[in-house]
Amino acid sequence: MPCLWFDPYVESKEVGTGKYKGPAASYIVFQREAVDALTKVHPEAAHWWNSNGYPQHNDALWLFSANSVEVLKEVLTKAQLMSENN
């Protein structure tokens, strides 16, 4: 699934509980793309997310911790991404 950017130090909360998780290295993705990708491999799980109000809106984001993903292509940090677009 396409990643928007990598953030080595992002503050976050748990989905559902809102419990503060603290700073962590994370990959940022659109919720809709994550649920769409999940539909292909685990439709029941994707249905659960959809039934519980996700994606919240078209621009809603999710954070995936760096130790929970397999990076297939280098991902820029938000700062690198912003400097490329200026």
* Mean predicted confidence (pLDDT) in 63-83: 88
> How sure is the predictor about 80, in pLDDT bands with cuts at 50, 70 and 90?
confident
pLDDT at 49: 96
Based on its alpha-carbon atoms, the radius of gyration of the chain, rounded to whole angstroms, reads: 14
When the pLDDT of each residue in the chain is averaged and rounded to a whole number, the result is: 90
Confirm if 77 and 8 have CB atoms less than 8 A apart. Answer: yes
Number of domains within the chain: 1
pLDDT surpassing 80 at residue 86: no
Q: Higher-confidence residue: 72 or 34?
A: 34
Q: What burial class does residue 22 get, using C-beta atoms within 10 Å of its C-beta: 0-12 exposed, 13-18 middle, 19+ buried? A: exposed
Report the number of secondary-structure helices (H) and strands (E) in the chain. 3, 3
Handedness of CA 23, 25, 28, 33 (dihedral sign): negative
Predicted model pTM: 0.80
Model pLDDT for residues 26-63, shown as the tens digit of each residue: 999 999 999 999 999 999 999 999 999 999 999 999 99
Print the domain residue range for 15: 5-84
